[in-house]
Structure 1
């Protein structure tokens, strides 16, 4: 995050002490915390008071206080505090005076405290009241508090404002590119001034471009300066290869540099074609995307960057190349990471506009009480500021290739639902899987009979699009449409550059044929083969965003209530462990050969044997309409002797030979499985299953074997050196293994962790969506033989980490992690 970090030694308290906003308040009994901070994740899951929609974790009211002295640098300058995210309804005070109110929990907030500071050498206090008493105000887990970073910007009287540098690449050729930097300047003085603007471009540490522009800036005015840099032999920003250039701008007055601002950019060009799909740097590409919520399970919404790095690396390994930030803007740091790692990003703004969604029953939109009142009540007053702050902050990120103004907004304009023919007394078919019951003309006729409202879906879409494009015109604006057949005819989609379909792959051709000029893609899709198959078969569909990439807290009601703490529909579970769907999509999205086997008892599987003793679906063709929930399979080979077992393999190999204890069962060919799942019927015998596959002449094998009783705990860490920075953490994974070292995924045990050295345990988890053990703990029961602990180092030294199971009298190996102190210039 840009600016001087304000992350250390904040004072925090839950509740509302009297006079807490005043400088003179005694806060010695407050807790000292570092930011980012999410207080809800430290609570126990609460079945009675909690709500499934937000993961059974409560909210409340919290106060934060931060002291700082007025220094010479601050005196007579403009002081801006940049809050990247506060959830939510934040009232911000400086030295006892109310400065502003910021209700939206996901948008950045710039707070000008210049006129509220005390004189040079005196103390100041920033106090923030965070009101999350409406803790069911979202359809997913939000977190509570100042859960993103905070920084200070000290700006001279003539300055570039925060987010005041806009970088584009208007021309890209094979041997050169133009990087254009538009610099906004603000002269707050009462005099006209002559200044120099010095622009520099760096490739790493190498200066590759420099220009000096002399300009006169009138008193009390805003002005823009454009600097073009010609870059020879540019390296383009690419998927999974995030090549970045640094742009630095200096403001020089009377020969002295009075301000330096930097931003990063990537050189890339892209467009969407309504017939041919998506093109990046001149090549047609497929968008292999996933939707991600902003929480990371055990750490809540205050996510250390190392946690995101691990998760994004796992998604990259799967072949994923794009992220949709569902359903709100991401943090600045997360987008920096996507820039570096080469992920495309669709950044989404809102989940509701003029009208609220029912947080407990998505799509019903029947009931909203005070506890579940969301941002809709503030939307009209704050939407323009929120949208434009988001776009100003993020428009230099090369990873962003789409702005999404809203998610499934149609549900909240309920008057239109019956116009489709999918709902109401004449309803026929299920909208997810069937073509529209009514013709385009009939839908249009029905909509024309519906009275207009002052704020309607198309007029609000027009405003949001205009506000977005007033800041950035280099990316297409779209929305995720759950009922596109009606949204085309209401004028909603007319206001977009392209349209995203939510679970509507069956009308890809309908949309293309009836509205041929508007590019289409899937922006919310099920993690099933049929969704990707449609992309491969339809040139005009450039890709999809799977719901979801990683399990997230909240929305537990989708499948079941307590103890379901969140949605379990993803490729990775809450702990970042790989699920069956992950391996299916790795086989679809990667060119390298891949095999992963799972098993299930025949009677519990999706299959039965036909007269030829071959496996077939119990419901023929059911694979074509499988939804979010992956069918029940096991990662082990442990059953009763002679039981009828189905062995499945998710693979991109042309053919696979399956062996049991080195005896060939059968060789199968991928072309024979229209559901893209290899399968064999195998009577259980203890031993080893081996699948040997061939793809394009390359051979690969996968093995699972019968495991014995748990004999040991195996501990592993993802790094051996971390720093005292709050973004630096180590992931500790404990596995239960048998005497041969095989992970025993069919047995569980409670692991107690012990750590020597100054540390902070950020949380423990086992990945299971029904796990409601406290995150803030040193103990946890495994799931499928594994669990995870995330640890932060607090002081320079060595951490010694070990795990034990008292009931089994087992002690793990010991892992050591070195903790290095950051330099003074890297902390604040």
Structure 2
């Protein structure tokens, strides 16, 4: 039966794009750029004609729209060894060609900027970047995951056109194992301040050294630059409570030292009575506003920051406590990319992932293996997500820089990273690297101990309130004997092991002061790698790659990692409910998962493959099925077409079977299958799950996810399309190709389904259904109005 087309009308709400408070102007510079792929000659010159270049708005990943390139046989990766993959020209980086992209933006400087300090703040240029003003290089970046601030003041030409040009280079394939994307993939802002007195880049350090329910202390430090070096500086301090009430308002005169042009000041130490503590369940945020006042009473500069009042403690006895309460990190370790959008850092796309993770019981994200964006941390602050903030993958190999050796670069990176992130309450631990202690070419020939200590010394100077770690390679035990931890694991504040949770008890007996965190856990070991830890004493764990992502493919035609519990379009796989069953033990869960195929693949010496499950009841007549019921109930009854075929207990005494009840050789019969879960011997079910045999698809259902979609030019709405039968049931085996058309102030930012082996691009206006669903992502424009999305079957 032919599927009919469908249309949805979505309302874009008016939003205000406003500058910050008087004294500092912050203008989003994400709009009105020109882009051209390739190393274009003289692209930085003012005279270059860019009229034929593509019009784009940021964030922008220029690689995501490139064609997939199938590797030749000699380029195909060794699936058992990540390091072998770097020999491939394409496969580790998502089967996209490496290359260069140029961005240009022309403007006439505002005459009000004369005599001011005018900056461009690039939050990230992937993988390396060079920035030009009117043909002259004025700065750049050597590490794509961190930003830079460039002073344009001296080079601006008032009363005429000026041109900023940016060259972004994705580097060599060996700079990363995963898909990094390329270009101006994060925000760019133009900042104007006073030139004589101003707050420096990422100037604030907000700490809460005393915490209780009745009284807490907030310590505020800031770095200030003073060109004329007066004897004193005046700063106004205002603090708003999470309810928006001003709880502190004071003006301080700070003694200045004329010998220092830039100095860190202790601004104030404030007692807050009856504080609203930041926690995972109630992530209450205060807001600090600082104003730097000139002698004539005018405002020279302003700076604002959200912060939380909270305490974090670690111990071998209890793992981690937040505000004195034991909290177990139940987390995910994933790369920074966002499915169909590639590396482009859209806040709404990050928020959608955070909301999904929280729904399934996650409270933690490890930023594997590089810093995420500022907006990501803002969202984690707002949603109560605990972050292990990671700076690097491997220090000397797979270092995601290109032009400078890591030994020359880390001093800059540590400072930029820590100063940027240190006031976020969501950040509870620093991680300086991942799986690097086996690398023999590290400086000082001591398996990473001295490089770690050097970085930690700078890190503690800049923060000093959090512990630090480095994730251990799964095979990286002591290089003389496997019975002892690697030397690096014995000097880090937290011992972080990838996959090797089974070493925790023995290492704890030998070294009682060690604190353990399973920095990566695999899907194939799910269950034992959680329940076999001493959950009362460990910090927690982060499951690797729980959302499928581009890059690190286990073989063409797969374009990336597919061992997650959510597919690349964010549809939950059956295993997501197994995870949910123990991440949210108080919420009754039961889910039918039918075993389709086994996957015994390895990655870096670790078995990562697991049984492939599906949850549908459209099967072949006479087929015999093996299935699991994932549950945290005491027992489950299985019924087919109303007839019971048995009742089985949840064997919680064995970590290998706990919360997953196996049912073998179940005969398929058209109709429905139902799982009914019970607790405490009660007759009333606590949870149920039913799968129906569906009819043929007759219509499309279209659902948007963002009722407060804003007309700010950046906000997104994810529109899920599903094939439905005449009874409005999702048809799981429908793969109809779809075409999308948008009318109104929006554009298509990406198209995706859960098939990571698909040859289709994630850009354009078409996508086929997979397992009966697909998603189109719309980006707003900067005008309010009705947006009409029309979805039709695509003609062959």
TM-score by length of 1: 0.84
Q: 1 CA distance for matches of 2:569 and 2:404?
A: 35
Change (3 A) 1:217 1:24: farther
Whether contact under 8 Å (2:626, 2:662) holds in the other structure is: yes
Query: Which residue of the other structure, out of 246, 249, 252, is the alignment partner of 2:293?
Result: 252
- The answer to whether residue 357 in structure 2 is matched with residue 340 in structure 1 is no
Q: Counterparts in 2 of 1:797-812, with a 5 A limit?
A: 797-805=785-793
- The answer to whether residue 670 in structure 2 is matched with residue 680 in structure 1 is no
Q: Deviations over 1:273-300 (max 9, x none)?
A: 1122111111111110101211111111
Query: 1:503 corresponds to which residue?
Result: 499
Secondary structure of residue in 1 paired with 2:686: strand
Query: 1:474 corresponds to which residue?
Result: 465
**Residue 180 of structure 1: CA displacement?**
1.2
Change (3 A) 1:322 1:664: same
- The answer to whether residue 427 in structure 2 is matched with residue 400 in structure 1 is yes
Q: Deviations over 1:735-764 (max 9, x none)?
A: 112222211113322122222223211111
Q: Counterparts in 2 of 1:74-85, with a 5 A limit?
A: 74-85=113-124
Query: Which residue of the other structure, out of 277, 284, 287, is the alignment partner of 1:236?
Result: 277
Change (3 A) 1:396 1:374: closer
Change (3 A) 1:605 1:187: closer
Runs of 4+ in 1 over 4 A off after TM superposition: 373-377, 452-456, 487-490
- The answer to whether residue 220 in structure 2 is matched with residue 181 in structure 1 is yes
**Residue 692 of structure 1: CA displacement?**
1.4
Q: 2 CA distance for matches of 1:135 and 1:346?
A: 27
Whether contact under 8 Å (2:143, 2:401) holds in the other structure is: no
Q: Report the more deviating stretch, 210-219 or 485-494.
A: 485-494
Change (3 A) 1:667 1:777: same
Whether contact under 8 Å (2:389, 2:431) holds in the other structure is: yes
Q: 1 CA distance for matches of 2:313 and 2:579?
A: 25
Unaligned segments of structure 1, at least 5 residues? 358-372, 416-451, 607-617, 619-624, 809-828
Q: 2 CA distance for matches of 1:47 and 1:750?
A: 23
Change (3 A) 1:683 1:306: same
Higher relative contact order (CA 8 A, sep 6+): 2
**Residue 63 of structure 1: CA displacement?**
1.4
**Residue 270 of structure 1: CA displacement?**
1.0
Query: 1:361 corresponds to which residue?
Result: none
Q: Report the more deviating stretch, 695-704 or 26-35.
A: 695-704
- The answer to whether residue 496 in structure 2 is matched with residue 512 in structure 1 is no
Q: Counterparts in 2 of 1:815-826, with a 5 A limit?
A: none
Aligned residues: 733
**Residue 634 of structure 1: CA displacement?**
2.2
Unaligned segments of structure 2, at least 5 residues? 1-18, 21-25, 73-88
Change (3 A) 1:414 1:738: farther
Query: Which residue of the other structure, out of 103, 109, 125, is the alignment partner of 2:163?
Result: 125
Query: 1:17 corresponds to which residue?
Result: 40
Change (3 A) 1:414 1:215: closer
Query: Which residue of the other structure, out of 549, 560, 564, is the alignment partner of 1:566?
Result: 560
Change (3 A) 1:31 1:807: closer
Query: 2:532 corresponds to which residue?
Result: 534
**Residue 325 of structure 1: CA displacement?**
0.6
Q: Counterparts in 2 of 1:275-424, with a 5 A limit?
A: 275-356=317-398, 375=402, 377-413=404-440
Whether contact under 8 Å (1:39, 1:145) holds in the other structure is: yes
Query: 1:168 corresponds to which residue?
Result: 207
Q: 2 CA distance for matches of 1:267 and 1:305?
A: 24
Q: Counterparts in 2 of 1:636-715, with a 5 A limit?
A: 636-671=616-651, 674-676=656-658, 677-681=660-664, 682-695=666-679, 699-715=686-702
Q: 1 CA distance for matches of 2:236 and 2:441?
A: 54
Q: 1 CA distance for matches of 2:544 and 2:223?
A: 39
Q: 2 CA distance for matches of 1:227 and 1:382?
A: 34
**Residue 695 of structure 1: CA displacement?**
3.6
Q: Deviations over 1:410-460 (max 9, x none)?
A: 243279xxxxxxxxxxxxxxxxxxxxxxxxxxxxxxxxxxxx956851121
Query: 1:486 corresponds to which residue?
Result: 478
Change (3 A) 1:316 1:356: closer
Change (3 A) 1:641 1:20: closer
Change (3 A) 1:544 1:798: same
Q: 2 CA distance for matches of 1:763 and 1:398?
A: 32
Query: 1:740 corresponds to which residue?
Result: 727
Secondary structure of residue in 1 paired with 2:507: helix
Q: Report the more deviating stretch, 573-582 or 223-232.
A: 223-232
Change (3 A) 1:807 1:78: closer
Q: 2 CA distance for matches of 1:645 and 1:31?
A: 53
Whether contact under 8 Å (2:385, 2:426) holds in the other structure is: yes
Query: 1:457 corresponds to which residue?
Result: 448
Q: Deviations over 1:106-148 (max 9, x none)?
A: 1121222233223x44443222111225255310000110101
Query: Which residue of the other structure, out of 732, 735, 742, is the alignment partner of 1:755?
Result: 742
**Residue 566 of structure 1: CA displacement?**
0.5
Query: 1:575 corresponds to which residue?
Result: 569
Query: 1:146 corresponds to which residue?
Result: 184
Secondary structure of residue in 2 paired with 1:278: strand
- The answer to whether residue 776 in structure 2 is matched with residue 781 in structure 1 is no
Secondary structure of residue in 2 paired with 1:465: helix
Q: Counterparts in 2 of 1:48-59, with a 5 A limit?
A: 48=71, 51-59=90-98
**Residue 576 of structure 1: CA displacement?**
0.5
Q: Deviations over 1:148-186 (max 9, x none)?
A: 111122232111112111101111111121111112211
Secondary structure of residue in 1 paired with 2:64: helix
Secondary structure of residue in 2 paired with 1:314: helix
Q: 1 CA distance for matches of 2:727 and 2:567?
A: 27
Whether contact under 8 Å (1:766, 1:783) holds in the other structure is: yes
Query: 2:262 corresponds to which residue?
Result: 222
Whether contact under 8 Å (1:327, 1:348) holds in the other structure is: yes
Q: 2 CA distance for matches of 1:69 and 1:456?
A: 53
Q: 1 CA distance for matches of 2:113 and 2:238?
A: 26
**Residue 523 of structure 1: CA displacement?**
0.2
Whether contact under 8 Å (1:356, 1:412) holds in the other structure is: no
- The answer to whether residue 248 in structure 2 is matched with residue 192 in structure 1 is no
Query: 1:613 corresponds to which residue?
Result: none
**Residue 505 of structure 1: CA displacement?**
1.2
**Residue 490 of structure 1: CA displacement?**
5.9
Whether contact under 8 Å (1:159, 1:187) holds in the other structure is: yes
Query: 1:817 corresponds to which residue?
Result: none
Q: 1 CA distance for matches of 2:458 and 2:745?
A: 48
Whether contact under 8 Å (1:269, 1:280) holds in the other structure is: yes
**Residue 690 of structure 1: CA displacement?**
1.5
Whether contact under 8 Å (1:355, 1:376) holds in the other structure is: no
**Residue 644 of structure 1: CA displacement?**
1.9
Change (3 A) 1:24 1:640: closer
Query: 2:75 corresponds to which residue?
Result: none
